[in-house]
Chain A
Amino acid sequence: MSTEPGLSVIQTDPILRVDSVTKSFGKKIIFNNISFNVQAGQVVVIVGPSGTGKSTFLRCVNGLEDIQSGRIVFEGDIVNAHSKNIVSLRKRIGMIFQNFNLYPHLTALENVTLAPMKVLGESRKLADERAMDMFRKVRLEHRASAYPSQLSGGEQQRVAIARALAMNPSLMMFDEPTSALDPETVGDVLAIMEELARDGRTMLVVTHEMGFADHVGDRMIFMDGGTIIEDGPPSELLKNPKEKRTQQFVNSVLRPN
Chain B
Amino acid sequence: MYNFNLFFIFPYLDSLQWAIWNTLQISVTATFLSIIFGVLMALVRLSNYKYLRLCGVFYVEVVRNMPMVVLLYLIFFGLPSFGIVLSGYISGLTALTMNSTAFMTEIFRSGFMAVSKGQFEAARAQGMTNTQLYRFIILPQVFRISYASLGNQIIGVIMGSSIMMIATIEEVTAWMFNTGSINFRYFEVFFVGGLVYFVLCQTVNLVRNALGKIIFKTAAAGGPW
User: Which residues of A approach B to under 8 Å, CB–CB?
Assistant: 59, 62, 64, 87-91, 93-95, 97, 99, 101-105, 114-115, 118-119, 147-150, 163-164, 167
Q: A148: which B residues are within 8 A, CB to CB?
A: 224
Residue B61 lies at the interface, judged by CB distance under 8 Å to chain A: no
Is A90 a contact partner of B125 (Cβ separation < 8 A)?
yes
Q: B126: which A residues are within 8 A, CB to CB?
A: 90-91, 114-115, 119, 163-164, 167
Is A91 a contact partner of B127 (Cβ separation < 8 A)?
yes
Is A97 a contact partner of B127 (Cβ separation < 8 A)?
no
A105-B144, A119-B128 known; A149-B122 Cβ under 8 A:
no
| Bound Cα distance from A48 to B128, whole angstroms | 31
Residue B225 lies at the interface, judged by CB distance under 8 Å to chain A: yes
Is B125 a contact partner of A93 (Cβ separation < 8 A)?
yes
Residue B116 lies at the interface, judged by CB distance under 8 Å to chain A: yes
Question: Which residues of B117-150 have CB atoms within 8 Å of chain A's CB atoms?
Answer: 118-119, 121-129, 132, 136-137, 140-141, 144
A105-B224, A147-B223, A148-B224 known; A97-B128 Cβ under 8 A:
no
9 closest A-B pairs by beta carbon, nearest first, are A147-B224, A91-B127, A101-B118, A101-B122, A95-B125, A115-B126, A90-B127, A119-B127, A105-B140
Q: A167: which B residues are within 8 A, CB to CB?
A: 126-127
Q: B224: which A residues are within 8 A, CB to CB?
A: 104-105, 147-150
Q: B140: which A residues are within 8 A, CB to CB?
A: 105
A64-B121, A114-B136, A149-B225 known; A105-B127 Cβ under 8 A:
no
Q: B132: which A residues are within 8 A, CB to CB?
A: 118-119
Is B127 a contact partner of A103 (Cβ separation < 8 A)?
no
Task: Tell me the minimal C-beta distance from A229 to chain B in angstroms.
Answer: 28
Is A118 a contact partner of B136 (Cβ separation < 8 A)?
yes
Task: Tell me the minimal C-beta distance from A166 to chain B in angstroms.
Answer: 9
Q: Scoring B residues 34 to 56 as 1 if CB is less than 8 Å from chain A, else 0, what string do you get?
A: 00000000000000000000000
Q: Which residue of A lies closest to B219 (CB)?
A: A149
Residue picked from A59, A90, A101, A163, most chain B C-beta under 10 Å:
A101
Q: B127: which A residues are within 8 A, CB to CB?
A: 87-91, 115, 119, 167
Q: A118: which B residues are within 8 A, CB to CB?
A: 128, 132, 136
Task: Tell me the minimal C-beta distance from B127 to chain A in angstroms.
Answer: 4
Q: Which residue of B lies closest to A115 (CB)?
A: B126
A105-B144, A149-B224 known; A64-B124 Cβ under 8 A:
yes
Known contacts A103-B123, A118-B128, then 19 further A-B pairs from the complex at CB < 8 Å, ordered by chain A residue: A87-B127, A87-B129, A88-B127, A89-B127, A90-B124, A95-B122, A97-B121, A101-B116, A101-B119, A102-B122, A103-B119, A105-B140, A105-B225, A118-B136, A119-B127, A119-B128, A147-B223, A147-B224, A167-B126
| Bound Cα distance from A91 to B116, whole angstroms | 22
| Bound Cα distance from A118 to B132, whole angstroms | 8
Q: Scoring B residues 195 to 225 as 1 if CB is less than 8 Å from chain A, else 0, what string do you get?
A: 0000000000000000000001000000111
Checking A64, A103, A104, A149 against B125 with a beta-carbon cut-off of 8 angstroms, the contacting residue is: A64
Q: B216: which A residues are within 8 A, CB to CB?
A: 105
Q: B137: which A residues are within 8 A, CB to CB?
A: 103
Is A115 a contact partner of B128 (Cβ separation < 8 A)?
yes
Would you mind naming 26 contact pairs between A and B with Cβ atoms under 8 Å apart?
Answer: A59-B121, A64-B124, A89-B127, A90-B124, A90-B126, A95-B121, A95-B125, A97-B118, A101-B118, A101-B122, A102-B122, A103-B119, A103-B123, A103-B137, A104-B224, A105-B140, A105-B225, A114-B126, A115-B126, A115-B128, A119-B128, A148-B224, A149-B224, A149-B225, A164-B126, A167-B126
Q: A103: which B residues are within 8 A, CB to CB?
A: 119, 122-123, 137
Task: Tell me the minimal C-beta distance from A248 to chain B in angstroms.
Answer: 32
Task: Tell me the minimal C-beta distance from B125 to chain A in angstroms.
Answer: 4
Checking B118, B129, B225 against A99 with a beta-carbon cut-off of 8 angstroms, the contacting residue is: B118
| Bound Cα distance from A93 to B223, whole angstroms | 31
| Bound Cα distance from A228 to B204, whole angstroms | 61
| Bound Cα distance from A122 to B218, whole angstroms | 30
Question: Which residues of B128-186 have CB atoms within 8 Å of chain A's CB atoms?
Answer: 128-129, 132, 136-137, 140-141, 144
| Bound Cα distance from A150 to B216, whole angstroms | 15
Task: Tell me the minimal C-beta distance from A88 to chain B in angstroms.
Answer: 7
